[in-house]
Structure 1
Amino acid sequence: MYKYDQYDQALVDARVDEFRDQVARRLAGEITEDQFKPLRLMNGLYLQLHAYMLRVAIPYGTLSSPQLRMLAHISRKYDRDYAHFTTRQNIQYNWIKLEQAPDLMADLASVEMHAIQTSGNCIRNISSDQFAGAAADEVADPRPYAELLRQWSSFHPEFSFLPRKFKIAVTASDTDRAAIQLHDIGLQLVRKDGQLGFRVLVGGGMGRTPMIGHWVREFIPVSQYLTYCEAILRVYNRYGRRDNIYKARIKILVHELGAEEFTRQVEAEFAAMSDLGLDAPQAEVDRIAAQFADPEYDAGAPDTLDRSDPDFAVWVDQNVHAHKHAGYAIATISLKPPRGIPGDASSAQMDLIADLAERYSFGELRVTHSQNLVLAHVRKADLYALWQALAEADLATPNLDLVTDIIACPGLDYCTLANARSIPVAQKIAARFESDLARQRDIGELKIKVSGCINACGHHHAGHIGILGVDRKGEESYQLSLGGSGAEDASLAKILGPGFNKAGVVDAVEKIIERYRSVRSGPDERFLDTYRRLGDAPFKEAVYG
C-alpha cells in the first residue's frame, strides 16, 4: 500500500500545527463559532447533536494494521471506546472534545492519516473497490490511479471551494463494488486494444435529488485521465449553482445542460488543456504503482479448502470471495453482528482485526461501502483459523449481502441533519431474521439501506429495500422504497406508498420479504429481479392490503 514521502508527511504535519492554532484561538474566544466553522470543516470536524464528530479519511478504503491500531487507540483515548465505519470508506468518531482535537490529529499524522477534505465543498475522500488489487475479475489494480487522484485533489487551489461537495469513485471490474454510477465522477478502468484507460461517468448522486450518472467518454488513456477530470471540474466550477444549495451538485448541472452539451463543454476544455502537462510524469506513476505491487504470495499455497465444519462452510459461502492468485481468498469481516450497530467497531475489535490482518493478510485491510471490513489476501489454508478467531470475537457473522447485513447512517442518535433514528430500525429488522440463518440464506441477496434524512448517507435510494426516516408533525415516520441498486445494474428505488411508524416499518419489511418468497420464480431469483419482473403491485398488496 502507499507510503507517505516527505512531502505528504510535511503537508499533514503542517495542517495539524495550523489547526492547533485555530482551536486555541477559538477556545480563547478570539474567533467566533461562525468564523471557526469553515476552518474546522476543512479538517473534517463537525458539530453534531451531542458533541463534535470527526471524520477520518481512509483513501480508497485501504488501511494498514498499525493504522487500525491507531484508530483503536483514538477511540479509547478521545471517544467512548468505539468508532463508526461509513459508506464512504471513512471512519467517524462521535464524542470528540474540541480541546483534544489537535492532539488526535497529531496522532493520526503519526501513522500517515488525516481528516483533510472529509467535509466542505471540495473533492472528498477518493473511494474504490474494496477488493482492489486482489479481485479475480479486475483488469488491473485501480488503487495507483486512486492515489494519483488523491494527490492531485489534495489542496487543489482551484477546487477548494466548489459549488458543493464532490465525490469520485474508481473501479476496475464489470462488477461494480464501488457504486460508481452514483458518484459525481465514476471511473471504470478498462483495457482497449491493449491500452489501459477509463470509462468516465459524470453526474450521479443521491441526496434529495437522486440521479444515475451519464457515461460521457468510453475511453480516456490513463496518461490523460487527470487532465480529463480537471476539465470536468473546471466546467462544474464555472457553471455550478452557488445561489441554491439544493441545486449545487454537478448532477443538477448535467441535468440542466443536458449530458450531450455538458460533454461538449468538457471535451472543449480538455482539448484546450491537453498540452499543459497536468497529468503525472511516468516516473511518478511508476513510483506510486510500485507501492501497490503484489505481496509475496506463497507460491505453494494449497488451492483446496476443508469444508467439513458446517458452520465454517456457511461462512465461506457467504463471506469469502475469489482471489486472483491460486491458494488465496478474500475474506469479509461482518460488522453487523446480532444486536450490533451497523458499521460500529470497538477498540478491542479493531485491535484484534489489526492483529489478524498482520497474521493472515500481509498487514493490510479494507473498508467496504457496506460498512464491513475485508482481509484481501488470506491463504485458503488459513481461513479456518481466521474464522475461529473472528467467531470468538463475535465477528464471524455469515451474513454478507443478506437481510441482516443492513446499511444505516448514524441518524437522529447523533446527526443534527437527521429527522429520524436509523440505528434502532436497522437493529429491529435484523432481530426479526438473525436467529434463523437458513431463512436468511433462502431469502438470498437482499440489500436493506436506512437513512435518517433526505441527505441519504445510508444510501436508501440504492437499496433493494430503502428506508427513509422523515418528520411527520413531530413524529418519526419511515418511508419504504423498492428496487434500488448501487451495483453495475444501477437503479433508483421507487417509493412504495405511505410511511410507517417505527414498529410498523419493521412489520412492513417482513411482509414484503415474505411476499417475495411466495412470488419469486425460483430460489435463485433475487428480490431485486422479482421486483423488476413484477413491479410493486404484489408488495403494495402485501403491505397495505
Structure 2
Amino acid sequence: MYKYDHIDQTLVAQRVSQFRDQVTRRLNGSLAEEEFRPLRLQNGLYHQRHAYMLRVAIPYGLFNSKQLRTMAMVAEKYDRGYGHFTTRQNIQYNWVTLEDAPDILAELAKVEMHAIQTSGNCIRNITSDAFAGVAGDEYVDPRPVCELLRQWSTLHPEFAYLPRKFKFAINGAKEDRTILLCHDVGIELKKNTNGELISDIYAGGGMGRTPVLGSLIKTGLPWQLLPSYLTAILRVYNRFGRRDNLYKARIKILVKALSPEEFARQVEGEWLHIKNGDDNFTQVEWDRVAKHFLKPTYKSLPKLSDEQILNTINDEEKVIFGRWLARNVKSHQIPGYASVILSLKPHGSVAPGDATTAQMLAIANLADQYSFGELRATHEQNLVLADVEQSKLYELWQEAKKQKVALPNIGLLTDIIACPGGDFCSLANAKSLLIAKAIQERFDDLDYLFDLGDISLNISGCINSCGHHHVGNIGVLGVDKDGEEWYQITLGGEQGNEATIGKVIGPSFYADEIPDVMTNIIETYVEQRNDSESFIETYHRLGVAPFKEAAYKNVKKKEKVEALGGAL
C-alpha cells in the first residue's frame, strides 16, 4: 500500500500542529465557535449530541495492521473502547473531547493517517472498491489513480470552500462495488482497444433529500487528464452551485437544473482553457505512486474448489463452515488465494460497523498472519482480508469466530447498513441502531436467512442518507413528526451496475412496528417468489403493490399512522 514520503508526512504533521493551535485558542476563548467550526470540520471534528465525533479517513478503504492497532489504541485511550466503520471507508469515534482531538491526530499521523477533509464543504475522502487489486472481474487496479487524486485534492486551495461537500468514487471492475452513480462524481476506469487507461465520468449523483443517479458526461478521458477535467467540473460547480440554500447546494441540483447535456457543455468550455496545463498527471507521477501497489509475494498454489476445502473439515462443522465459504469468501485473481469478509454485524449485540478495541487488535493479528498485514474497509461496513491462502480458510474461520466476526451473513437481510442515527448524531431525526438491533433479533435464524438469499437492508436516521437507505432493496428512513420518531419504508433500491433509487411505499411507522412490517414484507416475498428468485427480482416482477399491502397488514396503530397523512 502507499507509503508516505517526506512531503506527505510534513503536510500531515503541520496540519496537526495548526489544528492544535486552533483548539488551544478555542479553549481559551480567543477563537469564537463560529470561526472555529469550519476549521474543526475540515479536520473531521463534529459536535454531536453528547460529545465530539472524530471522523478519520481510510483513503479508498485500504489500511494495514499497524494502523488498525493505532485505531484500537485511540478507541481505548480516547473513546469508549470501540470505533465505527462507516459507509464511506472512514472510521468514527463518537466520544472524543475537544482537548484530546489534537493528540489523537498526532497519534494517527505517526502511522500515516489523518482526518483532513473528512468533513466540510470540500472534496471528501476518495472511495473505491474494497477488492481493488484482487477482484477477478477487475479491468484495472484503481488504487494508483485513487492515490494520485487523493494527493491532488488534499488541501487544494481552489476547492476548500465549495457550495457543499463533494464526494468521488472510483471503480475499475466489471461489477460496481462503489455505488458509483450515487456520488457527486463517479469515475469508471477501463482500457481502450490500444490498452491505454481511460475513464468515463459521471456527474450529479447523490442521495440525501433529493436522490439522483449520476449522468454520463464524458467518455474515454485519458487518465493523465483527470486533474484538469475534474477541475473544470469543480469550477463550474463553484461558479453556479447554489450557496443561498443549503438543501439545493449539491452538484446534483445544478446538473438537474442545467440538464446533464448543458452541464457537460459548460465543463467542456471551462476545460478547453486548462486541459493542456501543468496540473495533469505524468507517467513519472504514476510510476512514483504505482510502485506501492505491486502484487505481494504470492506462493504458487493450486486453486481449490469449495468441495475440496470442505472435504478437509469434520462433518460436524461442514454446514456452518460451508455457509461461511459461500457468503464471506470471494474469488481471487491468484490461484490458491481468496478474499475474506469479516462481518461487523453480529446479530443484535452491537451497532452495524462497530468494532471493539479487542476485536481491532485481534483482526490486526489476523491480517499479519493471513493477509500480508493489509486490510480493506467496505461500503457495507465490514472488513476484508484480501489475500488469504485457501488452505488456511478453515484455520482463519476458527480464529475469526473467537472475535465474533465470522457470522456468515454477508449480503443477507441482517448484514444491515446503518448510520449512528439519533443515538449520536445531532442531525438525525430518529434512532437507527435501535431499529437495526430489533430487526437482527427478529431474523436471527441463519437457516431462514440463507433460504431468503440476497437482500440489502439500509437504515438512515435522517434525510442525509448516511445509511444509504435509498439504494437498499429495503430502506428505512427516520423522520420527525411533531417531535416523535417515525420510520419511512422504501422498496426496490439497488446498488451496483443496476443502481436504482427505492420508492417510498406510504405513511411512516412507529419504531416498535418496524419488526412486524419487515416480517410482513419478507413473508410476502417468500409466498410470491419463484424458485430461484431473489427479493429484488420478485419485487421487479410483482411491483410494489403486494409488498405495500402486506406492510400495513395487521400492524398495530395503523389507523393513527394513516390519520397523520402520507410520508414526509
Q: Is the 8 A contact 1:189 1:197 kept in 2?
A: yes
The question of whether the paired residues in 2 share the 8 Å contact of 1:302 and 1:381 is answered with no
Cα distance in 2, alignment partners of residues 122 and 222 from structure 1: 22
Secondary structure at the residue paired with 1:294? coil
Identify which of 364, 376, 381 aligns with 1:354: 364
Partner residue of 1:472? Answer: 481
- Match status 1:81 vs 2:81: yes
Superposition deviation, residue 302 in structure 1:
5.0
SS at match of 2:224: coil
Shift of residue 40 of structure 1? 0.8
Query: Matches of 2:35 and 2:275 in 1, distance apart?
Result: 39
Size of the aligned set, in residue pairs, is 543
Shift of 1:191: 1.5
Match of 1:423 in 2: 433
Name which of 306, 310, 319 aligns with 2:309.
306
The match for 1:453 is 462
Contact 2:226–2:281 (CA<8 Å) still a contact in 1?
Answer: no
Superposed, which structure 2 residues align to 1:330-341 within 5 Å? 330-339=339-348, 340-341=350-351
Q: Give the distance between the partners of 2:43 and 2:183, measured in 1 at CA.
A: 22
Question: Aligned match of 1:323 in 325, 329, 332?
Answer: 332
Match of residue 116 from structure 2: 116
Match of 1:136 in 2: 136
Shift, 1:301, TM fit: 5.1
Q: Report what 1:398 is aligned to.
A: 408
Gaps of 5+ in 1: none
1-structure distance, mates of 2:386, 2:297: 13
Q: Which moved more, 1:267-276 or 1:197-206?
A: 267-276
1:117-516 matches, cutoff 5 A? 117-193=117-193, 194-300=195-301, 303-304=304-305, 305-307=308-310, 308=313, 309-339=318-348, 340-434=350-444, 436-516=445-525
Q: Is the 8 A contact 1:208 1:454 kept in 2?
A: yes
Q: Which moved more, 1:250-259 or 1:193-202?
A: 193-202
* Aligned-residue identity in percent: 55
The C-alpha deviation readout for 1:372-396, integer Å capped at 9, x for no partner, is 0001111101111110000111110
Deviation at 1:341, TM superposition (A): 1.1
| Counterpart contact for 2:183–2:205, Cα < 8 Å | yes
**Runs of 4+ that moved beyond 2 A:** 300-305
Contact 1:451 1:469 in 2 (8 A): yes
Whole-angstrom distance in 2 between the partners of 1:82 and 1:540: 38
Aligned residues: CA RMSD: 1.0
SS at match of 1:22: helix
1:303 CA drift (Å): 3.2
Please state whether the residue corresponding to 1:224 is helix, strand or coil: helix
Distance 1:73 1:301 in 2: 39
Which residue type is aligned with residue 68 of structure 1? Answer: L
Amino acid at match of 1:15: R
Structure 2, unmatched stretches of 5+, are 554-568
Give, as a single letter, the amino acid of the residue that structure 1 aligns with 2:278.
Answer: G
Distance 2:446 2:230 in 1: 45
Q: Is the 8 A contact 1:75 1:81 kept in 2?
A: yes
Aligned equivalents of 1:278, 1:18: Cα separation in 2:
27
C-alpha separation in 2, matches of 1:306 and 1:323:
15
Is contact 1:520–1:530 with CA below 8 Å preserved after alignment?
yes
The secondary structure found in structure 2 opposite 1:272 is coil
* Cα displacement string for residues 89-148 of structure 1 (whole angstroms, at most 9, x for unaligned residues): 100000001111111110000000000000000000000000001100001110110001
The 8 Å contact of residues 492 and 539 in structure 2, kept in 1 or not, is answered as yes
For residues 498-522 of structure 1, give each alpha carbon's deviation from its aligned partner in whole angstroms, at most 9, with x where no partner exists. 1111111111011101101111122
What is the distance in 2 between the residues matched to 1:235 and 1:302? 50
* TM-score, L = length of structure 2: 0.94
TM-score by length of 1: 0.98
Aligned partners of 1:168, 1:3: CA distance in 2, in Å? 22
In structure 1, the partner of 2:90 is 90
Quote the Cα distance in structure 1 between the aligned partners of 2:279 and 2:32: 39
Match of 1:527 in 2: 535
**CA-CA distance at 1:532 after TM superposition:** 1.4
Report the counterpart of residue 40 of structure 1 in structure 2.
40
Letter in 1 for 2:83: A
Where 2:447 maps in the other structure, the secondary structure is: helix
2: CA distance between counterparts of 1:250 and 1:377?
38
Q: Is residue 69–residue 364 contact of structure 2 (8 Å, CA) maintained in 1?
A: yes
Deviations 1:67-92 (A, max 9, x none): 00000000000000001000001000
Matched, 1:541 2:542: no
Verify the 8 A CA contact 1:301 1:381 in the aligned structure 2. Answer: no
Partner deviation per Cα, 1:17-65 (whole Å, 9 max, x = no partner): 1111111111111112112111111110000000000000000000110
Give the secondary-structure state (helix, strand or coil) at the position aligned to 1:169. Answer: strand
Q: Is the 8 A contact 2:65 2:374 kept in 1?
A: yes
Letter in 1 for 2:385: L
Specify the code of the residue in structure 1 equivalent to 2:72: A
Q: Out of 394-403 and 274-283, give the one that drifted further.
A: 274-283
Quick check: 2:139–2:174 contact (8 Å CA) kept in 1? no
Mapped to 2, the partners of 1:351 and 1:86 lie a distance apart of 19
Could you give the per-residue CA deviations for residues 399-436 of structure 1, whole angstroms, max 9, x where no partner exists?
A: 001000001110110000011000010111011112x1
Q: Distance in 1 between matches of 2:416 and 2:269?
A: 43
Please tell me the residue identity of whatever aligns with 1:84.
H
C-alpha deviation, 1:174, in angstroms: 2.1
